[in-house]
Amino acid sequence: MIRLGIFGGGQLAQMLTQAAISLGVETVIFERSADSPAGRLTQAEIVGAWEDPTLLDLFASRCDLATLENEFVDATILAGLEARGLPIYPGALTLAMVQDKFFQKERIAAAGLRVPAFRRVSTPDDLLSVADDLGWPLLLKTRRNGYDGYGNVTLHGPSDVLPAWKRLTCGDSSLLAEAFVPFSRELAVMVVRGRTGEARAYPVVETVQRHHICHLVRAPAAIPANVAAEATALALAAVEAVGGVGIFGVELFALDNGQILFNEMAPRPHNSGHYTIEACVASQFENHLRAVIGWPLASTDLRTPAAVMVNLLGQRAGPVGPDALRAALDVPDTHLHLYGKRESRVGRKMGHVTALGATLAEAESLALRAADLVDI
């Protein structure tokens, strides 16, 4: 059996493990704390800091190859493991380009792909002069370690600059400033790319955010075919531009005029691709495994006319009760997924639900009904 190491033990590693089981792949989970959702699913759980050389030795000795479920592991750690012969996908070079949002945008722009105007800013004064150039509102982002809106602030004028600067910097890092894009929709495309460069895109989906967290995903997006084709081409090109191997989530802006802009990418399974578990021939998780192992990629086609995924966010603080799902399990044609987090918090991603239907409206109605009935 192939032993696949994963940096991270959260829900993405959990769903990757579920897919790995069927393919005869054992996962080794390296997470900072014990009893993580995926760590609990293996007796090969390694607990501690990813920087710890002893633990890295142990990890390397237990794996035939490795991957990651988030982009927070430092690329230099991957480079060190690669240097001693452990294959890691996506690789250190790709991760270095992607995990810093400024480098990521530079790379995508250099590949000739359309991105919003962006600047590196090192001081609040820098930012004010960027605002003279790009105008207000302006997005200010940490370059690394942001997720679900953590690490992002929208600035509406000069008086927003100092509070946002203090909130986002730890004093020593530069930030990323981006022109605000008046998008009509947010789109996303999951792209899987193999070791030898063969790539497949999943259908273009529409994502709806609420309070900076993905609330809902509609698959396929209700957009004209030429817009979908442009979004797909941009996503494939973006993953190729960073030499990505494995599954990548590419987030895009669609403008009123049909133009598509690159927003950002994640070098891993992505929330906007969870619908693929039930809705597509092969899930994003199965295709990630195939890609990183070097096996043939599987079809990314939809198996249903429409699918809608809704995230299940924590409604209160406290332990997850045994009957959190009971009422929701009565809604037909819906597929519930909990992430094995023992404690809920308001707004925490606790799971998701995917509903399938003959139309997006039908699937969305079922998914929202089930999500409303979850008690978590």
Q: Is position 330 an interface residue for a second copy (rule: CB under 8 A)?
A: yes
Residue 204 is a binding residue for a second copy (CB under 8 A): no
Q: Half-sphere exposure of 139 toward its Cβ, with a 13 Å CA cutoff?
A: 20
Judged by CB under 8 A, the stretch of 120-128, 129-137, 182-190, 288-296 that binds a second copy is 288-296
Based on the shown chain and the rule CB under 8 A, indicate whether residue 358 belongs to the binding site for a second copy.
Answer: no
Restricted to residues 9-48, the positions that interact with a second copy (CB under 8 A) are 14, 17-18, 21-24, 26, 40-43, 45
For a second copy, the closer of residues 250 and 376 by Cβ is 376
- Of 220, 189, 218, the closest CA to residue 303 belongs to 220
Give residue for tokens 């001081």.
123
The CA radius of gyration of the chain, in Å to the nearest whole number, is 20
Chain positions 131 to 190 lying near a second copy, rule: CB under 8 A, are none
Q: Give 134's contacts (C-beta < 8 A, 6+ positions apart).
A: 117, 119, 177, 178, 179
Distance of closest approach, residue 129 Cβ to a second copy, in angstroms: 51
Rank residues 270 and 337 by Cβ distance to a second copy and give the closer one: 337
45 or 178: CB nearest a second copy? 45
Cα dihedral 244→247→249→254 (10° resolution): 80
Residues near a second copy (CB under 8 A), total: 41
- Binding part of the chain for a second copy, among 51-59, 120-128, 173-181, 295-303 by CB under 8 A, reads 295-303
Answer for the pair 27, 6: CB distance below 8 angstroms, yes or no: yes
Cα→Cα distances 275→17, 171, 196, 247, Å: 17, 39, 27, 14
User: Which listed residue (231, 337, 349, 366) binds a second copy by CB under 8 A?
Assistant: 337
375 scored as a contact of a second copy (CB under 8 A):
no
**Residue 257: DSSP 8-state:** T
- Contact code string over 46-85 relative to a second copy, x by CB under 8 A: ------------------x---------------------
In terms of CB distance, is 130 or 291 closer to a second copy? Answer: 291
Contact 184, 257 (CB under 8 A): no
Compute the least distance from the CB of residue 326 to a second copy, in Å: 6
The reply to whether 324 sits near a second copy by the rule CB under 8 A is yes
Q: Nearest distance from residue 2's CB to a second copy, in Å? A: 5
Query: Do the strands 349-357 and 306-313 form a parallel or antiparallel pair, or are they unpaired?
Result: antiparallel
Stretch that binds a second copy, among 90-98, 136-144, 243-251, 327-335 (CB under 8 A): 327-335
Length of the chain: 376
**Residue closer to a second copy (CB basis): 76 or 299:** 299
Which residues, at least 6 apart from 50, have a Cβ–Cβ distance to it below 8 Å?
7, 30, 32, 56, 73, 74, 77
Residue with tokens 């075919």: 225
Paired tokens of 157: 């004028």
> 3-state SS string over 40-88?
HHCCCEEECCCCCHHHHHHHHHHCCEEEECCCCCCHHHHHHHHHCCCCE
Contact flag: residue 372 with a second copy (CB under 8 A): no
The candidate with the shortest Cα–Cα distance to 238, out of 69, 94, 102, is 94
The residue among 287, 274, 199, 285 whose CA lies nearest residue 244 is: 199
Single residue of 76, 122, 123, 299 touching a second copy by CB under 8 A:
299
Shorter beta-carbon distance to a second copy: residue 69 or 178: 69
Q: Which is nearer to a second copy, 217 or 280 (CB)?
A: 280
- Residue of 79, 237, 255, 298 that binds a second copy (CB under 8 A): 298
**Closest distance of CB 80 from a second copy, Å:** 24
Q: Which residues bind a second copy (CB under 8 A)?
A: 1-2, 14, 17-18, 21-24, 26, 40-43, 45, 64, 281, 290, 295-296, 298-299, 303-304, 320, 322, 324-326, 329-330, 332-333, 335-338, 340, 342, 351, 356
